[in-house]
Structure 1
Amino acid sequence: MDLGLKGKTAIITGGSKGIGLHTAIVLAEEGANVVIVARGAEDLDKAVAVIKERTGADALAVVGDVTSKDDAERTVAKAVETFGRLDIVVNNAGTSAAAPFDRVDADAWTRDLDLKLFGAIHFSRAALPHLRQVGGGSIVNVTASFAKTPGASSLPTSVSRAAGMALTKAMSRDLAPDGIRVNTVGIGLIRSRQIEARWQKEAPGLSWEAYARDPKHDVPLGRIGDTAEAARVIAFLASDAASYVTGTSVNIDGGKAPAL
């Protein structure tokens, strides 16, 4: 299937590692120009080298903090200056923070909302004039499937991710007249540094394959997912192949979430 991504330009926040990096790789493989954003220059340099090795493409790396409106505007300006257009924004930056309500102080709430909600707002607003200029485009917000039915000890992430879902639906309605599609993916158990750290702590004697398939994870498909599996879904939603899909949430969690 031709995803219709050749020659388009995509910004991926949190693009130096994990799902963000693999999304950049998939988009570059499909012929898109990719701009990756993260706070660490060294990690960005490594990511650019990986993208080059895997795809032959020269990615643009921008050191930036998604919580900064100025950094968002600077990143968008660099992307357009370098590639002449902007078509796609993948708001991926974020980490998991989960604790009971009485252990989450005001500063933790502010940090989490700044990173996961306002980061998406800053980059989407900065990109909007350019997405309109190309006659439409795509925004994909990375959230979490469990935010639809949050459980105990899931704060503040479940709230900030649920806010990201509401943002997605409202934006999709507001921006549809411009031909701009806005969707979200609900990430479940996907291999990451945090998951790997848990593996080493809980079962250092097990191989990753054995740990990923441990029944205790309660994943209907029987295993923890791979970052590339998430990246492929994100790339699809960002592409012309999903030209009639907007305002929706797609779970990438192996069937673990109890809600659609």
Structure 2
Amino acid sequence: MDLGLQGKVALVTGGSKGIGLETALVLAAEGAHVAICARDPEGLEKAAARILEQTGASALPIQTDVTSADDCLRAVREAAEHFGRLDIVINNAGTSAARPFDQVADEAWGYDLDLKLYGAIRISRAALPYLRQAGGGAIVNLTTSAAKTPPASSLPTSVSRAAGLALTKAMSRDLAADGIRVNAVGIGMIRSDQIEKQWQLKAPHLSWDEYAQDPKHQIPLGRIGETAEAAKVIAFLASPAASYVTGTSVNIDGGKGPAL
């Protein structure tokens, strides 16, 4: 299926590894120009080299801390000026932070919201003039399916991600007249550095496939997902193929989360 991404320009935060990098790879393979943002310059260079090797596309690495408003403005400007336009924003920056309520200090609350919620706000706000200039575009905010029905010991991530869902819906209403679609994805258990560390810590005697398919995960599809499976859904929502989809959240969790 042709997603209609040829010649489009995308900016991906948290783009040096994991779902962000995999999304950049899918977008580049579909013909989009990609700028990847992250804090680690070495990781960015390795990611850009991988994108070039696997797709033949030259990605633009931009060292960025999304907790800095100045960094966000600079990153968006560099991407738009380098490629001549901006059509897509993937707000992927963030890490998992999950503890019981009484173990989360004010500093942890503040940092989590600054990184995941305000980071998406800053990047999207900086990108807005360029998206309007391009005649429309797409923003995809990464959240978690747990944001819809938070389990115990899921703070502060479940709260900051739930705020991201509200942000997505409100933005979709405000920006629809500009032809800018805003959607979210709710990530469940997807293979990542963090998941692999849990595997090595909790069940080093199991192979990856055995661990991924362990019934204790309670995933209806019977396994932990791969990053490429998440990236393909994100790329679809960012593409013209999803031209009539906005203001929604799609779970990528093997059926484990609620369909709210």
TM-score by length of 1: 0.99
Deviations 1:18-61 (A, max 9, x none): 00000000000000000000000110011011101110000000
Specify the alignment match of 2:37 in structure 1: 37
CA distance in 2, matches of 1:170, 1:258: 21
Q: What is the CA-CA distance between 1:240 and the residue it aligns to?
A: 0.2
Q: What is the CA-CA distance between 1:222 and the residue it aligns to?
A: 0.1
Specify the alignment match of 1:161 in structure 2: 161
Does the alignment pair 1:84 with 2:84? Answer: yes
Specify the alignment match of 2:17 in structure 1: 17
CA distance in 2, matches of 1:2, 1:191: 26
What amino acid is the match of 2:58? D
Gaps of 5+ in 1: none
Q: What is the CA-CA distance between 1:258 and the residue it aligns to?
A: 2.9
CA distance in 2, matches of 1:160, 1:52: 34
Specify the alignment match of 1:6 in structure 2: 6
Specify the alignment match of 2:63 in structure 1: 63
Deviations 1:88-141 (A, max 9, x none): 000001111000111000000000000000000000000000000011000000
Is contact 1:145-1:186 (8 Å) kept? yes
Is contact 2:251-2:259 (8 Å) kept? no
CA distance in 2, matches of 1:234, 1:86: 17
Q: How does 1:212-251 map to 2 (within 5 A)?
A: 212-251=212-251
SS in 2 for 1:143: strand
Q: How does 1:46-125 map to 2 (within 5 A)?
A: 46-125=46-125
SS in 2 for 1:204: coil
What amino acid is the match of 2:57? A
What amino acid is the match of 2:40? G
TM-score by length of 2: 0.99
Specify the alignment match of 1:207 in structure 2: 207
SS in 1 for 2:189: coil
Specify the alignment match of 2:139 in structure 1: 139
Specify the alignment match of 1:178 in structure 2: 178
Is contact 1:45-1:61 (8 Å) kept? yes
Is contact 1:149-1:259 (8 Å) kept? no
Q: What is the CA-CA distance between 1:199 and the residue it aligns to?
A: 0.1
4+ residue runs over 4 A deviation: none
- The count of corresponding residues between Structure 1 and Structure 2 is 260
Q: What is the CA-CA distance between 1:149 and the residue it aligns to?
A: 0.2
SS in 1 for 2:259: coil
Does the alignment pair 1:256 with 2:256? Answer: yes
Q: What is the CA-CA distance between 1:205 and the residue it aligns to?
A: 1.4
CA distance in 2, matches of 1:188, 1:102: 24
CA distance in 2, matches of 1:66, 1:20: 14
Q: What is the CA-CA distance between 1:82 and the residue it aligns to?
A: 0.7
What amino acid is the match of 2:39? R
CA distance in 1, matches of 2:81, 2:247: 30
